Structure 1
Amino acid sequence: MLNYLNKIKEHEALGNEAWRKNALHMAGGEDKAQQAQFQAYMHKYKKRLEAPLFGGKVVRTITRTLEGDYQRYPVYVNIAPELNAGLSLITYFGHGAPTVFDLNLGNPNDPVNNYNNKGKYPVFIINGCAAGQAFSASPTSVGEIWTLAPERGAIGFLADSDFGYEHQLDFYCDNLYKALFNDPAWYGKPIPVVFREVARQVLEQFPGDPHAISLAMNTIWQGDPTLSLYAPDKPDYATDDTRLEVAPVAGQTKVQATSPAFLLKIGASNLGKLTRDSLHISITREYPSANGRANDVITRVFPPLSRDSVLTVEIANTGNVFGQSRFTVQLDYAGKVDELNESNNQASLTYNFLQGGVTILSPVEFAIVPSNSVHLVAQNNDPLAAPRAFEFELDTVPTFNSPAVQRTSVTASVAPDWRPTLSGAAKDSVVYYWRLRFKDPQADEIQEWAASSFRVIENSPQGWSQSHYGQFARNEAQGLRVTTPASEWKFEEIKKTLALRAGGGGALPVMELRLTPCLEFRWRMSLPIMLTVVQARQIF
């Protein structure tokens, strides 16, 4: 009894762990017809368990397919994966006796079975003959073995100790499930208390029937009389970062910057009570700061969330989306539902929206390379791509049409590279331009070149340099420009309108006038009115 007391203490210290809404079903039968009949019963109970208020999940249903008498042809099954992960309930419907059923789980104390479910003790509901008969010194019944096993096994065992008949057992078990999982008047009440109500219903349904009276009077509860099944009184929506996934829409095989839309899949659970409340979620998409885009906020409404669900939202992917986007999902974002725990409603995912082409890796753009031995390295933006051909080009002008231009083709899967011989090796401080692309781009891939440049300065420390006119093409210039190919800086022409008024006569001196902080004019005025600019210069 001390073993059982210790298990009760562990059980009562539990919280709203996800496994507490898990159940396992078993259906026996001695022939095909009976097996189909008992499986139909279990399917009906499954629907009740997964409906409000409990909203649980039957993680596995085990069925007997072997025909014949269960005592002559017993079937043994192992439930270690499910039991060790955590079950609140194991329900069986089939033939039985105190020590053997159509489907047998074995002894939890036998290490061969690998039953290690410390702290995760289920309740058994057994629908079969005499399974609850626990009054013989030997042999020990299944119920006694499982409830009294130390640090493993079960926490309670409910079964008839007399003969049972399927139509009455089905009525009893169906109404027991209804009361335990769906009826607000009995949801969360101790199991013996709920059974007493169901026994009343059995006697009312089958008045005067001796087998119904036996079922009501001889069903035995082995366990704490105050024990209840897990019955949270509020919902508890939960998700986490590992349960978010970006996936392609139908007809697409990958998600990249050129994809017109994609799917965000959100794994979510309700660890608590299942209600009729809709679930309101928000999704915030943060773009890379370089894109200059404000965050997108998307909201959706889903049906009531049960045990485990995957919520799928299709998201448009338009405009400049290249780079890493961060998605933050908030369940019940407006706080409409009172929950057991409000701190587990948020999850985040960062996804890199690549261009569906290639990316320059090394040398980085505008790099100073200290040697004429250069290694050009790029990257296929699809890390799972099969080997394919890439085109490289290298030149000393950005148009790639000089006599010194070099071209090659390489085959690679993820990281194409090239070690060219530099044509300007005898010169110092030469700027080289290089680019690459897929040799045979597919329809959903970027077909433009990925281009970059670098400067070779022998024995120089590594650094950054812009010194050739082609390198300034990406800069934003205001009031000046760079000429090609001389790389000369020119200021844009500035025109100003002058409005002057003068009077009197005689010799007129040369005067100076500043129109802007950076422009100075010297001018002379004579009669008739005439303005002659004798000198203009830009000053700083």
Structure 2
Amino acid sequence: MKDVFKAALLLIVLLGSLGVRAQWSAPYANSWIKYGKPYVKIGVAKKGLHRIPFSALPKNLPVGSPEKLQLWRRGRQVSIISTDHQEIVFYGLPNDGASDSLLYRPATARMNPYFSMYSDEGAYFLTAGDVAGSRASMVNQPIDAQLPPLASHNEHFIKLFQEDYSLSTKTPVRPHFFNSFFELGASRTSEPYKEGTDLILDFKLEHYVETGQKPTVKLLLHGRSNNSRKIQVYIGKNKGSLRLVKALDNTDFAGVECTFEMEVGDVDAEKSGILLVKSVSGERSEGFSVAYFSVRYPQSFQMGKLAMKEFALGATTEKWSRASVEGLSSKFMTLDVSDADNPIVLKATGESLMIPRKANQKQLILATSETTDVVPAKISAIDFEPHDPKAGNYIIITTDELRDGAAAFAEYRSSPAGGSFKPLIVNIRDIYDQFNYGEPSPVGIKRFMSYMLSDSKDKYLFLIGKSITQNEKMVRELPGEVPTIGYPGSDILLVEGIAGAPVNAPAIPVGRLSANTNQQIMDYLEKVKAYESNQSGEYAWRKKVLHLSGGKTTSEILQLKNHLRGLEPYVMNGLLRGKVTHYVKQQPMEETESVNITKEVNEGVGLITLFGHGAAVIVDPNIGYAREAARGYNNVNKYPVMFFLGCGVGNVFGNRFNVNPPNPKSADRIPLSLDWLLAPGRGAIAVVAGSYESFANTGINHLEALYQHALANPTSADLSIGKIHWLVSNEILEKFKDKHHIAHVHQSLLQGDPALKLITVDRPDYAIGSEEGITLLSGAADQPIGEADSLRVSLALSNFGRFVKEQQVQVKVTSAGKNGTQAKTMDVTAFPSEKVLKVAFRLDKEVQTIRAEIDPERAINELSRNNNVAELDIEWDLVKDKPAFSNANNKDNIPPIIEVKVNGRRLKQGEPVLPEPEISIAVSDNRLLYTDTTLVDLFIKRCAGDDCDFERITYAGGKLTMSETGSKELALNYPSDLAPGEYEIMVNAKDPSGNAVVQQYRMPFKVEEPGKMQYELVLSPNPATSYLRFEVKTGGLPVKSLRYVIHDQRGNEISDKTFTVPDNSSVLEWYWQRGAAASGLYIYKIFLIGEEEKILGTKSGVVSFP
């Protein structure tokens, strides 16, 4: 018997799965559309009759033959009530979210039929057909007085709760595990009720009729903590008369339904009562919530003061029923809306109504005296354009607002440089209209993609636009969004299990650019162009890989480090033959540890993999944001691919899109991963990261498969990042069937263009450096070259591209001088990365040039030939005393020096200055400097501490200027507009060789109003020895000059000097040297002098010289 039950249950599950999968295949959701016909979309926000005058319809819809007007909803034609009087009247419904069930697993897990996940607005489409449209039939049956009137109808009272979400992530009490598809009856609910807190629900059975039929109560409850519980449901007249009706077993966050019949004693004489719900678990974090409760009970037929009411009739075998509705009058229209798409108008006589019955079927009758006029904003012309599955293999889904940026991307991808794809740009609203009957939902994207893959699966999907799926932050109707599925968000689920793909597996590669503006799209497109055309002109950086591992405990740090160490052979011994640099967290602690990878990133790395704890706005080790000024990232044209294994690093679905938040802790600050992707001229080219939780074992399995396909497997290494991501997803799903691996695949988000080639080193690239590639050596160690009887030439060869095993590489070395030319040619076996080749020559002090050339016959197909030749010019007077010589001897390794002043002086930490201070920067170097604005960056932070970010001061505005003050000196000037407040200044500088200053300049300071600044003198030292240091804080006085006078104790004048004060100076500083003055006491007096020699203030005192 148990086996039979198990088999039956398995069959139900399989049939349910097949039913959902069938929803994605033919007939497709656009099969109802007659292309070429004009359509008008109508939005309906409430249940009932709706009216649209012909004059309110768009001009594209002909209304000359109103009988041909057709109304459609969810692919079915709707019977219009009337097209008389130059207007359309129809019965309409809001969106009940029925298609949401396609996103639940199983579909029956959508337990709340009264909640729509994405949209409240019903969508109807009006068109002019070739034949007459469907019209509501009318029944005008005379009242049969012999037929007894119905005693009651089944009133259905519903109370919904939508204050919270059953799978909320806004508190620490949340499920231990999240899938991206909806499950466990996920729904909006009440706020959670904690252990010991009773949920009390009042109800009243209005106009109750005693029929012998017991009222039925139904509740949908949700657990809200990670534990098992008993949920007890009581009913009674009041708290003192409760009876226990159900004790429900419930676990974790699952939904559970409760249905029971009400007894006579459960309500008072007024037919009022209460429901009391409480949880019994004993857990401290225990909680539960309610999604809805409803009561069905027999109620008399009466309108009361209502303008609209529904009457639910039970099933019968009779052909007719008569209803007598108190309060029904000629101002009401009555309809049978049992089939909402085919209402039947029922003509009433007074308060009586004859209703034709359908055998053994329940029926719903509507009486209404109101008709809603559809507002113009909910009426729009629609011009359906058919989509040809063969028309595109690079599909972009975006919004109206981002169309221009998407078009630029499509133009590039259609060009030979971009891969000669056939791009197709599709508006998300068009997808909703054609493939989800006008209702906003990711269901539309999945249906559309199933249709577009009906001919071939060799395609890409690129989603350009944001998606907000954190339930508490979602916006109804999804304005300006390109939605993902679920929270944690999953773009893979948009193409999962369609077009023949297995359940859980993506059918095609999919990537997302969560851009908010066209400029962000253009900035990213420029990075893609630079990456794919290698505008850096170099390839060596792409073979460098950066590993970063974190951890909170010693054992965890070791575990994560070893996981990444296990991947190193794929880099060093695979096709790339690259180099790995590994940063390991040093301190076992809960807090993140900052790591400085600016040098490596700016020099160029092809791949960055970080394995550690994380969140949307931080990772551990903490590498910071790409646009974080203090980090100094500036990797123009050298953009890495980034892989993050850390919880929520790829979560771009939490409504965080502010690139310039008021402070770094703002709730809307852009996610770190998205900042790295969108940052113009820096950051990453693509990011792969999980949208929610990451687990070490599943993560490392995913990473190992990715490294294998991207770096070691010759059949997949040359594929795009999207196809590699697709291959890895399918491979993981084939090997592992547990929920953690499935969720990891679903939630592994590819941010960036899926058609992007991952690391384009598909050919070798042999190179010899121009500076250190050729080194001249004496015949013996430590012997000067000038004393040697033979010479050796050392060649430092590199391979910046792919390693082709056993390939023979020819190298030709030529020495030329006054005595002629010597040439030697050697064959070198291919090498993965670096090789040193030494060649001996006879001594000839007349040699002037040594030239080395790789592959002089051009027999090898390389990535670049621009680095195959190097020359070394020899000046014997310069080299004769050295044991070795190369062009590196002349290499510039010395960084520049910067000096920063505010209002003409070097600031002290926290020093106050006057409003609108002038900032000047002096840069000096050991080599020539030119007015190149890329050499110096000035940043201002408009707060103290870490409550805001640095802002870069641009040269574009014209206020920040740069000039040459000497052949090796630059001067920058910035007359600021800084108002009173706290600030911090930061300056970065480098020389033309790329040497950055040893330490960036950072200094916090204050801007104060003149009236609030201190007026004081600081004199030091006292007693003094050989000098005095004066520091005067002017207190904001408009000082133009300063005079100081010093007398000895006998009144003899020792010094009297005056100097001009720079404008806006708040602090004046100078020194007085004692010179030959005798020991003793000295009197000083200081005069602050303003316009027209007016004395603004004085300071005086005595100082001792022992």
Tell me which interval the TM-score lies in, with the shorter structure as reference length: 0.5 to 0.7
For 1:359-370, list aligned pairs within 5 A.
none
The match for 2:830 is: 303
| SS, match of residue 131 in structure 1 | coil
The match for 2:612 is: 94
Rounded Cα–Cα distance in structure 2 between residues aligned with 1:285 and 1:258: 22
Pick from 144, 152, 159 the counterpart of residue 674 of structure 2. Answer: 144
For 1:251-266, list aligned pairs within 5 A.
252-256=781-785, 258-259=787-788, 263-266=792-795
Rounded Cα–Cα distance in structure 1 between residues aligned with 2:604 and 2:879: 44
| SS, match of residue 626 in structure 2 | coil
> In the alignment, does 2:746 pair up with 1:225?
no
Check 1:322–1:163 CA distance in 2 against 1; reply closer, same or farther (3 A cut).
Answer: same
Rounded Cα–Cα distance in structure 2 between residues aligned with 1:192 and 1:40: 28
Q: How big is the shift at 1:215?
A: 1.0
The match for 2:872 is: 349
| SS, match of residue 297 in structure 1 | strand
Rounded Cα–Cα distance in structure 2 between residues aligned with 1:7 and 1:77: 26
Rounded Cα–Cα distance in structure 2 between residues aligned with 1:335 and 1:221: 39
1:23–1:90 contact (8 Å) kept in structure 2? yes
Identity within the alignment, %:
25
Q: How big is the shift at 1:147?
A: 1.8
2:779–2:788 contact (8 Å) kept in structure 1? no
2:774–2:871 contact (8 Å) kept in structure 1? no
The match for 1:312 is: 837
2:602–2:634 contact (8 Å) kept in structure 1? yes
Q: Any idea what the Cα deviations from partners look like across 1:115-138, whole Å, max 9, x if unmatched?
A: 223333322101122222221125
TM-score (norm 2): 0.30
2:640–2:686 contact (8 Å) kept in structure 1? yes
> In the alignment, does 2:701 pair up with 1:171?
yes
> In the alignment, does 2:793 pair up with 1:269?
no
The match for 1:75 is: 593
2:779–2:790 contact (8 Å) kept in structure 1? no
Q: How big is the shift at 1:254?
A: 3.5
1:278–1:303 contact (8 Å) kept in structure 2? yes
Rounded Cα–Cα distance in structure 1 between residues aligned with 2:680 and 2:867: 34
For 1:51-450, list aligned pairs within 5 A.
51-58=573-580, 60-69=581-590, 73-138=591-656, 139=667, 140-206=670-736, 208-246=737-775, 248=777, 252-256=781-785, 258-259=787-788, 263-286=792-815, 288-290=817-819, 295-306=822-833, 309-315=834-840, 317-318=841-842, 320-324=843-847, 326-351=849-874, 381-382=880-881
Structure 2, unaligned runs of 5 or more = 1-514, 657-666, 885-1106
Q: How big is the shift at 1:353?
A: 6.6
Q: How big is the shift at 1:253?
A: 1.0
Q: Any idea what the Cα deviations from partners look like across 1:71-114, whole Å, max 9, x if unmatched?
A: xx111123222222223321111222222222111122232221
The letter for the 1-side match of 2:584 is T
| SS, match of residue 125 in structure 1 | strand
Rounded Cα–Cα distance in structure 2 between residues aligned with 1:163 and 1:225: 23
Rounded Cα–Cα distance in structure 2 between residues aligned with 1:163 and 1:84: 30
Rounded Cα–Cα distance in structure 1 between residues aligned with 2:598 and 2:866: 32
The letter for the 2-side match of 1:245 is I
TM-score (norm 1): 0.58
Rounded Cα–Cα distance in structure 2 between residues aligned with 1:105 and 1:261: 51
Rounded Cα–Cα distance in structure 2 between residues aligned with 1:180 and 1:215: 19
The match for 1:468 is: none
Rounded Cα–Cα distance in structure 2 between residues aligned with 1:8 and 1:231: 17
Structure 1, unaligned runs of 5 or more = 355-378, 386-540
Rounded Cα–Cα distance in structure 1 between residues aligned with 2:792 and 2:611: 42
Q: How big is the shift at 1:67?
A: 0.2
1:280–1:333 contact (8 Å) kept in structure 2? no
Q: How big is the shift at 1:260?
A: 5.6
Consecutive aligned runs of 4 or more in structure 1 exceeding 3 Å deviation: 55-58, 247-251, 257-263, 287-290, 333-336, 340-344, 350-354
| SS, match of residue 788 in structure 2 | coil
The match for 2:562 is: 40
1:7–1:119 contact (8 Å) kept in structure 2? no
The match for 2:135 is: none
Q: Any idea what the Cα deviations from partners look like across 1:369-393, whole Å, max 9, x if unmatched?
A: xxxxxxxxxx9942699xxxxxxxx
Which is further off, 135-144 or 90-99?
A: 135-144
1:279–1:305 contact (8 Å) kept in structure 2? no
Q: How big is the shift at 1:66?
A: 0.7
Rounded Cα–Cα distance in structure 2 between residues aligned with 1:249 and 1:258: 8
> In the alignment, does 2:533 pair up with 1:8?
no
The letter for the 2-side match of 1:9 is E
Q: How big is the shift at 1:48?
A: 1.6
Check 1:299–1:257 CA distance in 2 against 1; reply closer, same or farther (3 A cut).
Answer: farther
| SS, match of residue 241 in structure 1 | coil
Check 1:381–1:182 CA distance in 2 against 1; reply closer, same or farther (3 A cut).
Answer: closer
Q: How big is the shift at 1:302?
A: 3.4
Check 1:338–1:153 CA distance in 2 against 1; reply closer, same or farther (3 A cut).
Answer: closer
Check 1:162–1:337 CA distance in 2 against 1; reply closer, same or farther (3 A cut).
Answer: same
1:321–1:353 contact (8 Å) kept in structure 2? no
Rounded Cα–Cα distance in structure 2 between residues aligned with 1:188 and 1:303: 21
Q: How big is the shift at 1:232?
A: 3.3
Q: Any idea what the Cα deviations from partners look like across 1:238-266, whole Å, max 9, x if unmatched?
A: 22432333354796114525536554332
Check 1:342–1:137 CA distance in 2 against 1; reply closer, same or farther (3 A cut).
Answer: closer
The letter for the 1-side match of 2:641 is V
| SS, match of residue 677 in structure 2 | helix
Q: How big is the shift at 1:144?
A: 2.1
The match for 1:374 is: none
Rounded Cα–Cα distance in structure 1 between residues aligned with 2:549 and 2:638: 23
Rounded Cα–Cα distance in structure 2 between residues aligned with 1:7 and 1:37: 36
| SS, match of residue 569 in structure 2 | helix
The letter for the 2-side match of 1:110 is E
Rounded Cα–Cα distance in structure 1 between residues aligned with 2:620 and 2:779: 45
Rounded Cα–Cα distance in structure 2 between residues aligned with 1:135 and 1:52: 36
The letter for the 1-side match of 2:707 is Y
Check 1:382–1:102 CA distance in 2 against 1; reply closer, same or farther (3 A cut).
Answer: same
Instruction: Output the aligned Cα RMSD.
Output: 3.0
The letter for the 2-side match of 1:61 is H
The match for 2:509 is: none
Q: Any idea what the Cα deviations from partners look like across 1:299-353, whole Å, max 9, x if unmatched?
A: 14233243xx2423152x54x5333253222212344422233453222224467
Check 1:96–1:10 CA distance in 2 against 1; reply closer, same or farther (3 A cut).
Answer: closer
Q: How big is the shift at 1:222?
A: 1.6
Q: How big is the shift at 1:37?
A: 2.8
Q: Any idea what the Cα deviations from partners look like across 1:211-232, whole Å, max 9, x if unmatched?
A: 1111111111122222221323
Check 1:31–1:383 CA distance in 2 against 1; reply closer, same or farther (3 A cut).
Answer: same
Which structure would you say has the larger RCO, counting Cα contacts within 8 Å and 6 or more residues apart? 1
